[in-house]
Chain A
């Protein structure tokens, strides 16, 4: 895996940017080169959020992605916007609680998990992103599970650290789904 380029996209408040940070941090702990770039342009004002994450054996060139290997879409507009960014043999993972349609592309791997619904059943909808990231780890091995768990401790603020055991459960739920 010389380089993996990832787009995570959804509404503000779904943990899109934090989810990207978790992957970037885990990549760094795996001794890869990483970059994380949030959308900071006018699109932020519309309530949508996305981030571009690169995990690479080589130094990272542009942190702004014009195409990617992996898309995690947590709402319909995100799938509409980024579906065509995904390269052949890439994967798209959607939250089927919020994204009604599937991808029509046959040259990519498509996975959908009702992540928000499952997270709600766990008692906290913000775990949805971690469930989807778990699926990504299982399908792509972009970062190791151990590093992801270590990155939770680095990225989560002190007051949310008590949630880590549940975050790990959500991760494993995604990995097994």
Chain B
């Protein structure tokens, strides 16, 4: 067993990327994720990698496009306003079907907003912030250990499907230190990238990476190909944690850091004889729809708790398709709900208060 070390979430993302074989980082600093860039700036030159602080987020995502086209593992990181700037590049990367990893340590918006924790970029991440019919695989870790494991997995998934994997966290996760145990050998998949732009050496046909095609017949075929790929991802890559859901009166749906608070709530309410469970989506896209079919009959009602005005709750309602009432509780602007607030909400909906 490897030794446990105490590290900041942001640093663990960077370390995990390096362990996954990523030697290329392009980014532009923004709180609360700049430690990722600090770590990469220090470590990558030591292992023969490349760290570039680009002139802007737009430049950085296009450098990622270029590196990914060359077939190497590449990562960029930013926070909400910076991720908005990257949306054009993300759409192009999706169109060109290139694998890469993008980290969004979300801050509270809209606009320049603040720097405290939020989950208000859910829509942007899972419904497509850029233009066109495209998807990204979106992971929402809830501990520093999981940041490590999912960052490694994000590279595997990206390569497996030639898609962008996004790690979405918030400042609480990025800034906190927790024990992390790095495995001695990472679970790294290697994929033959015969499509990559590596130079023909006059020995093969040249590869073309592009997202442009003005022939509608061909472009529709390309889109159908993308949709077939996304369908495969929906079938194979849904990830979810189930906690205490057996016999629960209320099942809470929460992701990322909020799920940590919910677990405390569940343990506290056990002493009061109130049975509460948790469904924690680990992939936000593909949303773990299948698990809701399995658990829809268990509780009287569902409650979604988010650091937003109510975004994931829409996917919860779609997944349940009217089978059970779905209530919502959210805080915004960097406010974090206390255990007591959430417990009061649970008791209130169980009493049948009209507005929940």
Contacts and interface: CB of A to CB of B under 8 A. Distances in A.
A4 to B, nearest CB: 15
Interface in B123-182: 171-172, 175-179
Contacts of A163: none
A35 B115 contact: no
- Indicate the size class of the contact surface on chain A: 20 to 34
A134 to B, nearest CB: 21
Interface centre among B171, B260, B261 (most CB of A within 10 A): B260
A82 interface: no
A25 interface: yes
Contacts of B116: 41
Interface stretch (A55-63, A118-126, A167-175): A55-63
Given A61-B261, A61-B263, A66-B338, A24 B177 contact: yes
Interface in B326-343: 334, 336, 338-339
A41 B108 CA distance: 12
B264 interface: yes
Given A40-B171, A40-B175, A61-B263, A21 B6 contact: yes
Interface in B109-128: 114-116
A11 B160 CA distance: 49
Interface in A34-52: 34-38, 40-42
Contact of B6 (A24, A62, A63, A66): A24
Interface string B74-91: 000000000000000000
Interface of A is mostly: mixed
Interface in B172-203: 172, 175-179
B267 interface: yes
A62 B177 contact: no
Given A21-B177, A25-B6, A41-B116, A63 B263 contact: no
Nearest to B336: A64
A33 interface: yes
B178 A60 contact: yes
Contacts of A64: 172, 336
Given A28-B4, A40-B115, A61 B175 contact: no
Contacts of B175: 37-38, 40
Interface in A46-92: 58-64, 66
A37 B175 CA distance: 6
Given A34-B6, A37-B172, A40-B32, A62 B260 contact: yes
Contacts of A154: 6
Contacts of B31: 40
A35 B264 contact: no
Interface residues of B, number: 24
B6 A36 contact: yes
A35 B115 CA distance: 20
A35 B176 CA distance: 7
A174 B137 CA distance: 52
Given A28-B4, A61-B263, A62-B260, A34 B115 contact: no
Contacts of B336: 62, 64
Contacts of B260: 60-63
B267 A58 contact: yes
A36 B177 contact: yes
Contacts of A34: 6, 177-179
Interface in A128-146: none
A14 B261 CA distance: 31
Contacts of A40: 31-32, 115, 171, 175
A31 B290 CA distance: 37
A5 to B, nearest CB: 11
A36 B6 CA distance: 9
B176 to A, nearest CB: 4
A49 to B, nearest CB: 13
B6 A28 contact: yes
Interface in A142-177: 154
Contacts of B263: 59, 61
Nearest to B4: A28
Contact of A62 (B114, B115, B264, B267): B264
Given A40-B31, A40-B32, A40-B115, A63 B179 contact: no
Given A34-B177, A59-B263, 15 more contacts: A21-B6, A21-B177, A28-B6, A34-B178, A34-B179, A35-B176, A40-B32, A41-B334, A42-B114, A58-B267, A61-B261, A61-B263, A62-B336, A63-B172, A63-B260
27 contacts: A21-B6, A28-B4, A34-B178, A35-B176, A35-B177, A35-B178, A36-B176, A36-B177, A37-B175, A37-B176, A37-B177, A40-B31, A40-B115, A40-B171, A40-B175, A41-B114, A41-B116, A60-B178, A61-B261, A61-B339, A62-B339, A63-B172, A63-B178, A63-B260, A64-B336, A66-B338, A66-B339
